[in-house]
Amino acid sequence: MSNTPIISITTSTFAKFSTAPLDMLRDAGLHIRCNQLGRTLTEEEALQQLRGATGVIAGTEPLTRRVLTALPDLRVISRCGTGLDSVDLEAAQVCGIRVRTTPDAPTLAVAELTLGMMLDLLRHVSRMDREVRAGTWKKRMGSLLCGKRTGIIGMGRIGSTVARLCAAFGAHVAYADPSDARGTGFPRMALDDLLRWSEILTLHCPLPTRHGASGVFPAPLLGRRELELLPHGALVLNLARGGLIDEDALYDLLCTEALGGAGLDVYRQEPYAGRLRMLPNVILTPHCASYAREARIRMEIEAVRNLLNALAEYPHD
């Protein structure tokens, strides 16, 4: 076993719905080391989990410079997902570690949950469900997605899929994105113009960074100023990255009904325990947008395939 390459799997539910990803690793003659804690690993736990590993099927644990520089055997990080906010890409490059993601697999799962949240907020489904369970029989008047001005920030794979789904419901769709080379067929706007226009706003973009005295740091894309540009009663959704929205400003605007509702799947700190939990016009899910069975299986298989292909690119000793 000492000469058998070790592959560490840090995601807590890997292969829960299909053994195919594990079978692929075993068929390749690799030794598998799984996450036994059943949750996202801390920096120190990730360091211990990855010691001696040649490759990692990674979740969202912090793969920081400290972790990566302490792992001389590590050759490949294969993210089971799309986001790389938790990976120090500069450190990975310096260490000669190849990084791969699975951008296609979760696209439809995230897009469908986005659409579901929009419909839920528009028709007050979750709110009325809670009220009925509490003994209150109140019919709340909702709105249609058809005809709504729906703004999308980030027109990549997920954003463009959300755009097509919303358009199929008869929504008017526009977007903001630094790139305009995709030929989406939907109008592109400057960010502030999109905010002023959007009755529904949904985020599908990376977390921006800003430069300060202490270096580069993540910063909200939508702070109080940006949120106040939205029309009165607008709905806001974030199924992209925690920290994209100033959660305190969002709370304040929801309390005053300047905004009509919000749907969040990601948060600045997770697990989320903030004040938005107290508001009846907010839908909160636990960072599960990609958690559709079919998408999860495909994502895990793609992550393994990416890892095997990347390992094959290294010269044999």
> What positions carry a catalytic annotation?
241, 270, 287
> Residue 239 burial (CB < 10 Å; 0-12/13-18/19+)?
buried
Q: What are phi and psi of 121, to 5 degrees?
A: -65, -40
Residue 256 CB neighbours (<10 A): 9
Residue 202 CB neighbours (<10 A): 28
Q: Pick from 75, 127, 128: which is nearest to 100 by CA?
A: 75
Q: Locate 83 and state its tokens.
A: 């986001």
Cite the DSSP H helix spans in 256-292: none
Q: What are phi and psi of 148, to 5 degrees?
A: -75, 140
Residue 228 CB neighbours (<10 A): 14
The three-point CA angle 210-241-146 to 5° equals 120
Q: What are phi and psi of 20, to 5 degrees?
A: -55, -45
Cα(240)–Cα(92) distance, integer angstroms: 23
Torsion of CA 274, 278, 281, 283, to 10 degrees: 50
- For every residue of 75-108, DSSP letters joined together read -EEEESSS--TTB-HHHHHHTT-EEE---STTHH
